[in-house]
Chain A
Amino acid sequence: MTGGGGSPELYQYQPGDPRLPDEPRTSRILGPGSEGGKGVAIALVSTVVVLGLIVWAVTSSPNWPEVKQAFFDPEEFKRAFPDVARAFVRNVQYFLIAEVFILAWALVLAVMRSLQGPVFFPLRALAIVYTDLFRGIPTVLVVYLLGFGIPSLGLPGVPSGAAFWGVVGLILSYSAYVAEVYRAGIESVHPSQAAAARSLGLSRAKTLRFVIIPQAVRRVIPPLLNDFIGLQKDTALVAFVVAIPEAFKQGQIFQAADFNFTPLLAVALMFLLVTVPLTRVTDWLLERQRRRRQAGAVV
């Protein structure tokens, strides 16, 4: 290859060229309608109108009284809510315990899968089979199999709590998803980072530990939070195997006794109280990351 060589000249548009816009695009200039105060007022009024219409349409329908009685009974709500809320503490416990193990085990899986070289083929294959398996099986099935199956064996020296094994099921299942999130993060770190670390004489393991994983984890925090939200909801699956009720099971007990679905709505409310703020935090983090990337900074 030789340097130099003439580059083609840039085409110069002449005034009046039909490919040029005729006039400045004034429509892009913000008009007076975008002023903050007025905008908020319009949004407020339109929201009230839309909500009012929906409420009117629903409550004036012929079957509303029965629906209201079965799902929105205030007396039933008051009766069930304290017990449901107390049982929900267990859901939070399941969530917190599972999350710690998921984060650790999934990272092990992701690192196993990113190992290079023929020596590590068995570990790589194991990680791939694991993720395929547990991502392919419905979580409820895993929880059911472990939560009923293992205690029924009565193995000596093995915990026999249904809740214990239900949570183990959640950990096994969610680790597969989270491992894939981690892997995407690891692969998003530019190879030049590994080259820089290796050029200093750092081993592969230390390069992963000090350079790759810290950057990977930072990048995947928003998608990880998404999985947190899913996990928080799926703690309700443990309801299928436990004797001591968590929130969903507690709601079911009330519902079966009183022939009313309002307690389950109380359960839904408890979940929303946790998942909606988590969702907002996730959105905020994603937005912040997007802004930083646009500003050219390294996330």
Chain B
Amino acid sequence: MSADGFALRVVDLHKSFDKLEVLRGIDLEVDEHEVVCLIGASGSGKSTLLRCVNLLEPIDRGQIVIEGEDVTVRGLDVNRIRQRVGIVFQAFNLFPHMTVLRNVTLGPTEALGISKGEARELSLELLGRFGLADKRDDYPDRLSGGQQQRVAIVRALAMKPVIMLLDEVTSALDPELVAEVLNVIRELAAGGMTMIIATHEMGFARDIAHRICFLDEGVILEEGTPEQIFSQPSQERTQRFLQSIIEAGRM
């Protein structure tokens, strides 16, 4: 249990790219074992928020606290923080010159300093659990998109993170490959993994999330349980967003 009782706490987070203010004061608290889904249109700031939490983007203002530790203070060892925060990207970003197994063991051996044998054992166990044991010696370009994304999830899990950030992990997949990836995430949720999931899969979000946050123009405009957000959203913009999703046949 962390000092403040939260796995993650984001306070008044601001982030600009040049003159474009992408995040305009985000406040978010995530309990341990909680699954939070971020929904909202493209450009609303979902991805940027996740990248900020992983310290891949420097922030302009605000505070990010992971397990009670303020990770936005100067002079902090960002590598140590990133080891505890797993992120999975939309485009997988697997290392194409490494086998599946090496993709997974790289972090544990080189960042955590775990012995090769131990890392291998841990990685094989994880790959096996997610149905990828027979792919361990393949290179990523031999795998389907769904398999690649599952490997990317396993790669993040091998670091034994305290929280997982999933950034539209099914958006680059062919429709028939989406389910296998979503099932992996369901399994993680069932195992009590704390997660923040940016997604366009509304049905999935409704099933899996303990809480839904609707992002609009860089702020969390509305948040609540899936029932609240999907059945009776209070904000007019949330209603319009969900309406457009329904019209697009994605719900």
Does chain A have a CB within 8 A of B89?
A: yes
In the bound complex, what is the Cα–Cα distance between A1 and B112 (angstroms)?
41
B-contact 0/1 string along A1-26, CB 8 Å cutoff = 11110000000000000000000000
Q: Which chain A residues (186-203) contact chain B, with CB distance < 8 Å?
A: 192-193, 195-203
Among A192, A198, A201, the most chain B Cβ lie within 10 Å of the Cβ of: A201
The contact sample of 24 A-B pairs, CB cut-off 8 A, is A1-B43, A1-B217, A4-B247, A192-B91, A193-B93, A195-B56, A195-B93, A198-B56, A199-B54, A199-B56, A200-B83, A200-B106, A200-B155, A201-B79, A201-B111, A202-B106, A202-B107, A202-B110, A203-B79, A206-B111, A210-B106, A214-B97, A218-B97, A298-B141
Given contacts A202-B106, A202-B107, contact A192 B56 (CB under 8 A): no
B159 contacts A196, CB within 8 Å? no
Query: In the assembled complex, how far is the CB of residue A10 from the closest CB belonging to chain B, in whole angstroms?
Result: 18
In the bound complex, what is the Cα–Cα distance between A198 and B240 (angstroms)?
38
Q: A199-B86, A201-B107 are in contact. List 10 more A-B contacts (CB 8 A).
A: A1-B43, A3-B241, A4-B243, A192-B89, A193-B95, A199-B54, A200-B82, A201-B83, A215-B95, A298-B141
Does chain A have a CB within 8 A of B198?
A: no
Q: Which residues of B contact A192 (CB under 8 A)?
A: 89, 91, 93
B107 contacts A2, CB within 8 Å? no
Q: Which chain B residues (141-163) contact chain A, with CB distance < 8 Å?
A: 141, 155-156, 159
Is the interface on chain A under 10, 10 to 19, 20 to 34, or 35 or more residues?
A: 20 to 34
Closest to B142 in A: A297
Query: In the assembled complex, how far is the CB of residue A186 from the closest CB belonging to chain B, in whole angstroms?
Result: 14
In the bound complex, what is the Cα–Cα distance between A192 and B56 (angstroms)?
11
Q: Which 5 A-B pairs have the closest CB atoms?
A: A201-B83, A200-B107, A3-B244, A4-B244, A196-B93
What is A's interface to B at a CB cutoff of 8 Å? Answer: 1-4, 192-193, 195-203, 206, 210-211, 214-215, 218, 297-298
Q: Which residues of B contact A1 (CB under 8 A)?
A: 41-44, 217
What is B's interface to A at a CB cutoff of 8 Å? Answer: 41-44, 54, 56, 79-83, 85-87, 89, 91, 93-97, 106-107, 110-112, 140-141, 155-156, 159, 217, 237, 240-241, 243-245, 247-248
Q: Which residues of B contact A218 (CB under 8 A)?
A: 97
Chain A interface main SS type: helix
Query: In the assembled complex, how far is the CB of residue B59 from the closest CB belonging to chain A, in whole angstroms?
Result: 16
In the bound complex, what is the Cα–Cα distance between A197 and B102 (angstroms)?
13
A206 contacts B110, CB within 8 Å? yes
Among A193, A196, A198, the most chain B Cβ lie within 10 Å of the Cβ of: A196
In the bound complex, what is the Cα–Cα distance between A199 and B41 (angstroms)?
25
Closest to A218 in B: B97
In the bound complex, what is the Cα–Cα distance between A193 and B245 (angstroms)?
32
- Per a CB cutoff under 8 Å, which of A4, A195, A197, A215 touches B97? A215
In the bound complex, what is the Cα–Cα distance between A298 and B94 (angstroms)?
11
Q: Which residues of B contact A2 (CB under 8 A)?
A: 41, 237, 240-241, 244
Q: Which residues of A contact B91 (CB under 8 A)?
A: 192
Given contacts A193-B95, A214-B97, A218-B97, contact A202 B111 (CB under 8 A): yes
Q: Which residues of B contact A4 (CB under 8 A)?
A: 243-244, 247-248
Query: In the assembled complex, how far is the CB of residue B64 from the closest CB belonging to chain A, in whole angstroms?
Result: 15
Q: Which residues of A contact B86 (CB under 8 A)?
A: 199
Among B91, B93, B244, the most chain A Cβ lie within 10 Å of the Cβ of: B93
Q: Which residues of A contact B244 (CB under 8 A)?
A: 2-4
